[in-house]
Amino acid sequence: MGAAVSAHPPVFDVVIIGAGVVGCAIARELSQYTLSVALIEAQNDVGKGTSKANTAILHTGFDTKPDSLESRLLRRGYRRLLEYAPSAGIPIERLGAILIAWDETQAAALDDLWQNANRNGVIDAEIVSADEIYRLEPNLGSGAIAGMKIPGESIICPFTPPLAFATEAVVNGVTLIREFEIAAIERQAPDFYALRSANDTVCARFIINAAGLHADTIDLMLGHETFHVTPRRGELIVFDKLSRPLVNHVLLPVPTAVSKGVLVSPTTLGNVLLGPTAQDIEDKHNTNTTADGIAALLEAGRRIMPALIDYEVTSSYTGLRAATEHRDYQITAYPDESYICVGGIRSTGLSASMGIAEYVVELLTEQCGLTLSKKPDYQRVRMPNIGEAFERPYQSTEAISRDPAYGQIICFCERVTLGEIRHAMSSPLPPRDLDGLRRRTRAQLGRCQGFHCSATVKSILDTTLERSAGEAQ
Ligand SMILES: Cc1cc2nc3c(=O)[nH]c(=O)nc-3n(C[C@H](O)[C@H](O)[C@H](O)COP(=O)(O)OP(=O)(O)OC[C@H]3O[C@@H](n4cnc5c(N)ncnc54)[C@H](O)[C@@H]3O)c2cc1C
């Protein structure tokens, strides 16, 4: 099927609203078929909403409610992402997690959690003694009385998955439209929609709503009111890389109904994270950190790992979970309206993204009656590695001899080279600002937060953006 030509703008077969990790995964999944697809994003880049500010754990789903949609799609997404990541250049480290009980009530909950894990197919979880925990984690604060090991819990780079999915989608023909905030949607008889921003219109036969925190607003534009998103603020602290040897596993608390709780976890960039908090707020744009949130984290951190608190803090940030009044994902197909809502993807969307994408394609074919045929010439992509556990360009004699710019370091804290910055700027999905370059290369993410390199990085960015603007005219 191709985009039709008429008086109105071309009609895409499918428009996906929202280029977070979920929308990007759906776009990648659909790019395998002979469809015209547009991925629409209000901001100037993919992965710039909740998807850039999470705890970056690839969850096994051991603690989700068995048979819930979240549980099923999380298990599916976990397996798919583990298979896909190595060839796509997505950094993942299978460190395993230890869930720690600090009192008798929490210890009593371990048995139920172990059974829950088994019901969810996580059959290698194992209850362990305090002695075993301290053998595995000598720097843990005193007072742990029992725990559970979950070997499959992993850490994942949060930045690369949406970029990899969107790049693969674009390379395979998906149209990415950035800086297009959908303000109104009108049904155009007989069979398509007009999606309007302040200045432009895109048309689509099918709509997939993956707008994250704003999925309820889009749902309302289409006449539905089945859930309401209440942002659940999660604040996190990033500790300096020197603290990394302190922690061997992801250290989890016993989860509650509201949140997975405050954890200590290594990151794929080589730091240590402490967080997140969980506080319901009203404002969907308020990603400020707060004095109270940071104080609460430091207090929790002092108990979990006192030595960690002595290390320098590199940064802090806030992410907003798309929590709703329901305890499960809100994914619904409306076949008569050619519309699928993918809402309420609150605490596990990074891990579940590829499972959600497969499920959405099933809904499109089985419930909405879309006939799909695979493209014969699908192209896979490989993203540049930004993970600490894998070879980086500055360490690669092969990369440096191919292009000496890979030996020229621009960001010293994160050892980012001129070659990587140039590569990001000439990629199929180049960044449009420093934040985008940061998520693609790590430049300015280190302990000086760009104090040393930001002028140089900005000048490379501006020169390239000006050149591309000149070429486009
Ligand atoms: C503190 C915290 C910790 C977390 N930890 C983990 C974890 O360890 N592991 C895990 O798997 N998950 C975790 N999550 C959850 C995960 O980050 C989210 O589930 C996931 O990022 C949601 O992706 P999304 O694509 O649905 O939303 P988003 O990333 O928010 O993307 C939605 C996009 O839609 C766009 N949009 C909205 N409205 C419009 C409009 N009108 N027009 C056009 N575009 C629009 C937005 O700009 C945005 O880019 C965590 C979340 C938080 C907040």
Residue whose CA is at the smallest distance from ligand 1 atom 12: 348
Examine the pLDDT at 258 and tell me if it is beyond 70.
Answer: no
Examine the pLDDT at 372 and tell me if it is beyond 90.
Answer: yes
Read off the pTM. 0.97
CA of 432 relative to ligand 1 center, distance in Å = 20
149, HSE (Cβ side, Cα atoms, 13 Å): 17
Which of 29, 43, 50, 230 to mutate for ligand 1's pocket (most ligand atoms within 8 Å of CB)? 50
Mean pLDDT of 69-85: 98
* Interatomic CA distance for residues 443 and 451, integer angstroms: 11
Examine the pLDDT at 331 and tell me if it is beyond 80.
Answer: yes
CA of 336 relative to ligand 1 center, distance in Å = 27
Residue whose CA is at the smallest distance from ligand 1 atom 26: 212
Give the DSSP H or E segment for 25.
helix 21-30
CA of 342 relative to ligand 1 center, distance in Å = 11
Examine the pLDDT at 2 and tell me if it is beyond 70.
Answer: no
Which of 48, 62, 347 to mutate for ligand 1's pocket (most ligand atoms within 8 Å of CB)? 347
Summarised one tens digit per residue, pLDDT across range 121-138 is: 999 999 999 999 999 999
CA of 10 relative to ligand 1 center, distance in Å = 29
**Position in ligand 1 atom list of the atom nearest CA 234:** 1
Examine the pLDDT at 232 and tell me if it is beyond 90.
Answer: yes
pLDDT at 257: 67
Examine the pLDDT at 6 and tell me if it is beyond 60.
Answer: no
Residue whose CA is at the smallest distance from ligand 1 atom 41: 182
Residue whose CA is at the smallest distance from ligand 1 atom 37: 211
**Position in ligand 1 atom list of the atom nearest CA 24:** 25
pLDDT at 401: 97
Mean pLDDT of 316-334: 97
pLDDT at 469: 81
Residue whose CA is at the smallest distance from ligand 1 atom 35: 18
Band (47; pLDDT cuts 50, 70, 90):
very high
**Position in ligand 1 atom list of the atom nearest CA 51:** 21
CA of 100 relative to ligand 1 center, distance in Å = 28
Mean pLDDT of 14-43: 98
**Position in ligand 1 atom list of the atom nearest CA 211:** 34
Summarised one tens digit per residue, pLDDT across range 410-455 is: 999 999 999 999 999 999 999 999 999 999 999 999 999 999 999 9
Listing DSSP states for 32-47 in one string gives TBS--EEEE-SSSSTT
Listing DSSP states for 104-123 in one string gives HHHHHHHHHHHHHHHHTT-T
Summarised one tens digit per residue, pLDDT across range 79-105 is: 999 999 999 999 999 999 999 999 999
* Interatomic CA distance for residues 272 and 268, integer angstroms: 9
Mean pLDDT of 466-471: 82
Residues with CB under 6 A from ligand 1: 17-23, 40-43, 48-51, 54-57, 59, 181-182, 210-214, 234, 276, 319-321, 345-351
* Interatomic CA distance for residues 213 and 311, integer angstroms: 34
* Interatomic CA distance for residues 468 and 409, integer angstroms: 24
Region label for 112, one of left (φ > 0), alpha (ψ between -120 and 50) or beta (otherwise): alpha
Residue whose CA is at the smallest distance from ligand 1 atom 31: 20
Residue whose CA is at the smallest distance from ligand 1 atom 52: 54
CA of 21 relative to ligand 1 center, distance in Å = 7
- Catalytic pick from 8, 59, 249, 285? 59
Mean pLDDT of 274-279: 96
Q: What is the mean pLDDT of the chain?
A: 95
CA of 52 relative to ligand 1 center, distance in Å = 8
pLDDT at 5: 45
**Position in ligand 1 atom list of the atom nearest CA 213:** 30
Residue whose CA is at the smallest distance from ligand 1 atom 1: 234
Which residues pair with residue 17 across a beta bridge?
40, 209
Task: Check if 59 is active-site.
Answer: yes
What are the start-end ranges of the E strands in 210-353?
230-239, 250-253, 263-266, 272-275, 279-280, 313-323, 330-334, 339-343
Pick the range with the lowest mean pLDDT from 32-36, 252-256, 361-365.
252-256
CA of 211 relative to ligand 1 center, distance in Å = 8
* Interatomic CA distance for residues 343 and 210, integer angstroms: 7
Which of 54, 57, 79, 331 to mutate for ligand 1's pocket (most ligand atoms within 8 Å of CB)? 54
